[in-house]
Amino acid sequence: MHPQTSSSSIVHTGLAWHNPFHQLGSAFYTPLAPQPLGTPYWVGRSEAVADMLGIGCQQMQSNDLLQALAGNRSISGTQPLASVYSGHQFGQWAGQLGDGRAILLGEVKGLEVQLKGSGLTPYSRMGDGRAVLRSSIREFLCSEAMHGLGIPTTRALCVVGSDDTVWRETPETTAVVTRVAPSFVRFGHFEHFAARNQSEALKTLADYVIGRYYPDCLNGDMFNSQVYANFLQRVVERTAIMVAHWQSVGFCHGVMNTDNMSILGLTMDYGPFQFLDAYDPGHICNHTDRQGRYAFDQQPDIAHWNLYALAQALIPLIGEQSLALQALDTFKPLFTAKFEQLMSHKLGLPDAPAALIDDLLTLLAKNRVDYTIFWRRLNAAQGSANTEPVRDLFLDRDGFDAWMLRYSELATHISQGVDANLMHNSNPKFVLRNYLGEEAITAARNKDFSGVSKLLVLLGTPFDEHPGSETYAGFPPDWANQIEISCSS
């Protein structure tokens, strides 16, 4: 039997909870408590996120908090709810989706706190409302890894595991991730109300998001078509910056449906994501994405496509189509400028010529060079006469030598030369490779959580050397490319 939530078991966190999303009104959600979870235990906890929320070390060890974040006890001051949204999945209109396995508890210090995997909601459709241990650990570690890399992302406070099982391809134990972000509103929230011609609700939502997160879009106190166009423009900017980061670090999201696109330009809804091992622009990380719609090199175009869907939803507010198109047209130049800046920094240069970057990426792809290791070795070769470790990564040595000559010549023409420090801080030593996650997950299934904790430390400061942790920065083993991750993971 699971413990039931009851008023006698309310947890007092001492945190100041607010519920502004709840105040939007019932058109936006269903009020609902999380479902209880059997035999909860801590799997991983982020001290950094606890700090952001003002949760002390002792409280992060407490059984009260464990039970609350498992969904077994309610938290004083929260007004839990599951929000409704719709969206385009794999390019098709999917209709109503919603928080099918997530519950928003409320806000602390301007941050929404959400439980993911917390049981059935009215939006669960065919699902069971649960998340398995594997996907929960992946989401937890990746959100913190992305933050460590300086990439806009939702965060994760902790993973709570359980011996309760659900059926996937085999029975798997379930878990709940506590996610944290200024807002979990998605493009799909806007699409939902636009598709239903609920223009009042659409406006209420837009005004809420603009007022709270994009106040610089306002013209004084007025909400007019220019304000909504400004808002779209700002979302275009943030999305372009987010995807430029993904492309520069070799991150493949895997399910860029419009319901997984954050209105704040945060990486969100970690599912079948993958950091590239060997550089392969056409890499498809989602096992169920047979057409490769969400292949690595498609991500910028897909983000642009998703922004069109958002713009379409905002047309009743923006009024003039030309204003929306103007905003959308800025996506490509913004993306390219940010991508080139990030890639230049990886080369230790203020701004490298696009051809130098393009030709390098072509070489990396042809030679199937490990993306993360390449950059770190290129960095190590600075100021050293020995370029062999980086050169050895290429079968086409002549091709590499020719490119390296162009790079070196360019650097000598810049007064300060290559900025080794900038390079060091732009090229991570540690990324969450699939196989590293799998090893930590396998151990966690046997209740050994040390791998999760270790990765949390390395990925939190991925540019640092972390002496003694070299094995986490090496080439993936042969079995790594047999790992299959799908949407349902």
**Contacts to ligand AMP by CB under 6 A:** 97-101, 123-124, 127-130, 255, 259-260, 269, 271, 487
Distances (CA, A) of 71 to 75, 128, 178: 9, 15, 11
Q: Compute, in degrees rounded to 10, the torsion defined by CA atoms 365, 371, 373, 378.
A: 70
Query: In sequence order, what are the beta bridge partners of 111?
Result: 108
- 267 part of the interface to Mg ion, by CB under 5 A: no
**Residue 431, phi-psi category: left (phi > 0), alpha (psi -120 to 50), beta (remainder):** beta
- 258 part of the interface to Mg ion, by CB under 5 A: no
What is the token pair recorded at 171? 């029975």
Reduced to 3 states (helix: H, G, I; strand: E, B; else coil), residue 302 is helix
Residue 235 beta carbon to Mg ion: minimum distance, rounded to whole angstroms:
18
State the helix-helix crossing angle for 299-318 and 225-249, rounded to 10 degrees: 170
Distances (CA, A) of 241 to 94, 224, 266, 295, 323: 27, 26, 10, 18, 21
Q: Where does this chain touch Mg ion (CB under 5 A) — which range of 53-61, 75-83, 260-268, 449-457? A: 260-268
> If contact means CB under 5 to 8 A according to the sort of partner, which of ligand AMP, Mg ion, none does residue 272 touch?
none
> If contact means CB under 5 to 8 A according to the sort of partner, which of ligand AMP, Mg ion, none does residue 130 touch?
ligand AMP
- 35 part of the interface to Mg ion, by CB under 5 A: no
Residue 168 beta carbon to ligand AMP: minimum distance, rounded to whole angstroms:
9
* Element at 172 (helix H, strand E): strand 171-181
> If contact means CB under 5 to 8 A according to the sort of partner, which of ligand AMP, Mg ion, none does residue 399 touch?
none
Residue with smaller CB distance to ligand AMP, 258 or 379: 258
State the helix-helix crossing angle for 199-213 and 225-249, rounded to 10 degrees: 60
> Is there a contact between 280 and 365 (Cβ–Cβ < 8 Å)?
yes
User: Using CB under 5 A, which of 260, 267, 274, 298 touches Mg ion?
Assistant: 260
Scan for tokens 């837009």, then name that residue: 206
Residue with smaller CB distance to ligand AMP, 121 or 230: 121
- 269 part of the interface to Mg ion, by CB under 5 A: yes
Residue 349 beta carbon to ligand AMP: minimum distance, rounded to whole angstroms:
38
Q: Where does this chain touch Mg ion (CB under 5 A) — which range of 85-93, 139-147, 177-185, 264-272? A: 264-272
Residue with smaller CB distance to ligand AMP, 28 or 407: 28
Scan for tokens 């999945």, then name that residue: 89
> If contact means CB under 5 to 8 A according to the sort of partner, which of ligand AMP, Mg ion, none does residue 144 touch?
none
- 99 part of the interface to Mg ion, by CB under 5 A: no
Q: Which of 99, 259, 289, 419 is catalytic?
A: 259
Residue with smaller CB distance to ligand AMP, 50 or 255: 255
277 is catalytic: no
Strands in 65-134 per DSSP E:
81-83, 86-89, 92-96, 102-108, 111-116, 131-132
- Nearest position to Mg ion, beta carbon: 269
Rounded Cα–Cα distance for residues 287 and 481 (Å): 12
- 139 part of the interface to Mg ion, by CB under 5 A: no
Residue 117 beta carbon to ligand AMP: minimum distance, rounded to whole angstroms:
8
- Nearest position to ligand AMP, beta carbon: 127
Residue 444 beta carbon to ligand AMP: minimum distance, rounded to whole angstroms:
19
Residue with smaller CB distance to ligand AMP, 123 or 140: 123
Residue 335 beta carbon to ligand AMP: minimum distance, rounded to whole angstroms:
23
Rounded Cα–Cα distance for residues 101 and 64 (Å): 22
> If contact means CB under 5 to 8 A according to the sort of partner, which of Mg ion, ligand AMP, none does residue 438 touch?
none
In terms of Cα–Cα distance, which of 432, 436, 433, 425 is closest to 464?
425
For the chain, give the number of residues.
489
DSSP-assigned letter for residue 404: H
In terms of Cα–Cα distance, which of 454, 460, 459, 458 is closest to 440?
454
In terms of Cα–Cα distance, which of 232, 389, 429, 251 is closest to 316?
232
DSSP-assigned letter for residue 175: E
Q: Where does this chain touch Mg ion (CB under 5 A) — which range of 266-274, 332-340, 402-410, 417-425? A: 266-274
Q: Where does this chain touch Mg ion (CB under 5 A) — which range of 34-42, 252-260, 436-444, 458-466? A: 252-260
Residue 120 beta carbon to Mg ion: minimum distance, rounded to whole angstroms:
16
Residues near Mg ion, by CB under 5 A? 260, 269
Residues catalogued as catalytic: 259
